[in-house]
Structure 1
Amino acid sequence: MYPLARAGLFSLDAEVAHHTSLSALRLAEKTGLLGLANPADEFVSPVEVMGLRFPNRVGLAAGLDKEGNTIDALGRLGFGSVEIGTITPRPQSGNPKPRLFRLIDHEAIINRMGFNNPGIEAGVANVRASKSFNGIVGFNIGKNKDTPNENAADDYLICLREAYPVADYVVVNLSSPNTPGLRDLQGAEASARLLEILKKEQQRLATEHG
């Protein structure tokens, strides 16, 4: 079965194959097929990290589910945590296509996606719409491409405020090479200033939300 599925997916453009696979996962979850193949309770082996109780030690990093609309299906595959994004304040289309490239001989992929995502409000709505996932949900947040670095804190604050009520944790993405100038924020002074602003807002939100 797998060789046939792989051959079919590899006949498609890499990004088309990515979206096709996620759509198939969502369909399989909604029709109950994933539940039959992989009962979620088979993967329970709890671990507590930084005050969060993870159902198991296998988590999915940001980049696969950029929109947060495949969480239930990914949980059925056994992931104890799912990190969505990277999500920016406003929707953005990302870099021009093609931007996802297979290195077949190396069994690898290069991506130059550029933070394509539906925006923080849509991402939060998608997470709220998930029904069966009982694991940990993280939000990976970034700034919009057209936001100058001197205003970057505003973008991260918008995302933090929107995500806070539904996120178990938030990741501040300063590392993407596909957003011009983003990694300039990794400098000691710039990152310390940004993280100080975000930490103060996190503390305020914790008081507000209890």
Structure 2
Amino acid sequence: MLYILLFYIFLFVFSIFVLFWFNYWMTSMLTSVNGCKFCDIVKNKKELQLKEKPTCVVVNDIKPKAKHHFLVISKQHISKPTDLTVADVPLLEEMERTGRELLREHLKKEGEADTVEDMLRIGFHLPPLLSIHHLHMHIIYPISDMGLISRKLTFRPGKVFKPARELIEQLKEEAGVPDPLEGNPAKDDMHEKIPAQAIT
């Protein structure tokens, strides 16, 4: 009985990965034939943009996994996070900062004090779990709204979803950039808490 159960679990997991790879292949084909959807949003669909900065724009995710689910899209066409180098760190930091600003603005309108970091997920899907081959960062809040599959599989930090901070630190480490906070207790406090009332 146990072997049968394990077999079905394996079959289920295998089916999910086959589905992901199929989606990855199909998306690559569509992108190469029909053009990039996110480039079109950046250049031609200003009405969808919630916030714009010199390097990125923010839109709502069309399939939100939580009450607040934004996509921060790079204006520069970069296919995937694995194509990034340390030279792209300023872009990633600007994308994260922009997404956080918009989230705080929304929370302020709803009368909430500020972002609860433990309830916030910021990051990128990695191949093969890419829906569109154009760099975009997910801002999801609160993660308690997420369904079981999203929270434990598709948006779980790990092999298919890379938190933004981890990606930035990884790029710096690979390039041999020294950490200015190494040995400093402040390193544990990665994000400055900005009160919602400070946003105008």
Instruction: With the length of structure 1 as denominator, give the TM-score of the two structures.
Output: 0.30
Higher helix share: 2
